[in-house]
Amino acid sequence: MVRWCLIPISCSIYQRFSYRVLSRYSNRMRDGLIVPDKADGMGCIDLGGGQVALVRNHELKENDMARGPFAGPPKKPISSFDYKMIGENKVPLPGGTSTLIYDMASGQVVDEYMSLLGTIRNCSGGITPWGSWLSCEETVAKAGEAGQQDHGWVFEVPAKQAGLADPVPLKAMGRFNHEAAAVDPHTGIVYLTEDRDDSLFYRFIPKTPGKLLDGGRLQAMVLAIPDTRNWNDKRLKSGQKLLTSWIDLDNVESPEDDLRLRGARKGAALIARGEGIFWGEGELYFASTSGGNAKYGQIFRYTPSAKEGGKGRQGRLELFYEATDPAFYNFGDNLCVMPNGHLMVCEDQYTDITENHLRGVTANGKTYIFAKSRIQTEFAGACFSPDGSTLFVNLYAPTTTFAITGPWDRVLTV
């Protein structure tokens, strides 16, 4: 199904990587439900004892019921955030997360089950330092449009809970077209992206680090250059670094879906479709999928200040990479940091004949192909095991989850 490209590890020596399929769409899981389709963002969380949890989003909408976890109406009540009436039956909306428990020594999946139900368009998210996955809804559907509830929230899924998480929306983190999240392990601040052409870059400062349900403040980033998209000019140059400040946002539950518009009027900087975000070593990276003068995508690097979360200028934003040629980078979406410090980016381009890649980006902004999908779909959810030995990644549809092993710490490009 997938052809893995050779990886140069020196100018003349090549080393093949190997992979195995861990999970597929429509397989039966331990809880009796089936693996849903449209696997998107995913996080790898260390459980100890040589096992990891892979918490995997499913970006299913209310009209994707047939591709969800139920072959028919559930036979008993089940914990779900929202429902759709099918005849006289209340069936949980099909979005949410599934969890795989993977044993690193044996290379086997030892458990698999649904871990969040009743949400829609769970696109990406991010892991937390306290062992959970933040699953983000990429929608602003109102009650009555998709189900009985308003949607557009972040939900927390504990990795060690062997079953369904309590589906409580983290409303203080805002209602908008959420994409992904990354948590600074030193401060507990959560950084959030938004998949809109006129999106903002957000941070959530929790009242109690590690306890997001306690609430907190949602803010948006302000820059001296208020539009980072470079669509009409190239004011923001690759490698350019800007000091940031942050503005408080109010009415963050945003019933009119105007949070980003109100933020922009107050001076927040515009981002072109903020998508994947990942915490590295004291910094984070996030993708702007359609940013740049050629609209093939950008990658930004944000470095927090020593006083992050306080008053005044906070941190520094750098345009790390801007694509000019689709042959080298095209619509980067989910991303993560590799063991060698490169970025691994999942491409998500939209063409009649799609050639989406797993694309490496070096520290000096050079790109290379790691893998190419041979079917019409995207890669998603790339993340590494804690020891750096294994890359886990999804094909979006039909859901297929892979484990890829090889000499990740020695990947070089020529």
Which pLDDT tens digit goes with each residue over 253-300?
999 999 999 999 999 999 999 999 999 999 999 999 999 999 999 999
Reduce the DSSP state of residue 323 to 3 states and report it: coil
What is the number of other CB atoms lying within 10 angstroms of the CB of residue 266?
A: 13
Average pLDDT on 156-175 reads 97
Is residue 260 left, alpha or beta, with left meaning phi > 0 and alpha meaning psi from -120 to 50? alpha
pLDDT at 148 over 70: yes
Per-residue pLDDT at 12 = 28
What is the structure's pLDDT at 314?
79
Element (H, E) at 261: helix 259-265
204 in Cβ contact with 222 (< 8 Å): no
Please report which confidence band the pLDDT of residue 375 belongs to, taking 50, 70 and 90 as the band edges.
Answer: confident
Tell me the mean pLDDT in the region 209-219.
Answer: 97
Q: What is the mean pLDDT of the chain?
A: 92
- Residue 31 scores a pLDDT above 60: yes
Strands 274-279 and 245-248 turn out to be: unpaired
Task: Report the candidate in 126, 70, 116, 71 with the shortest Cα–Cα distance to residue 95.
Answer: 116
Residue 30, phi then psi, degrees to nearest 5: -60, -30
Q: Judge: domain 2-410, CATH 2.120.10.30.
A: yes
Q: Is residue 164 within 8 Å of 117, Cβ to Cβ?
A: yes
> Taking the domains of the chain in order of start, what are their residue ranges?
2-410
pLDDT at residue 412, as a whole number = 60
Q: Which tokens hold the place of 195?
A: 């998949």
How many Å apart are CA 219 and CA 155, to the nearest integer?
19
The per-residue pLDDT for 14 is 40
In a 10 Å sphere around its CB, with 0-12 CB exposed, 13-18 middle and 19+ buried, how is residue 181 labelled?
buried
The 10s digit of each residue's pLDDT in 232-243 is: 888 899 999 999
pLDDT at 13: 29
Q: Is the pLDDT of residue 8 over 90?
A: no
In this structure, of 89-98, 105-114, 369-378, the range with the lowest mean pLDDT score is 369-378
* Amino acid making up residue 70: F
Q: How confident is the model at residue 164 (pLDDT cuts 50, 70, 90)?
A: very high
Give the pLDDT score at 209. Answer: 95
| pLDDT score for 381 | 98
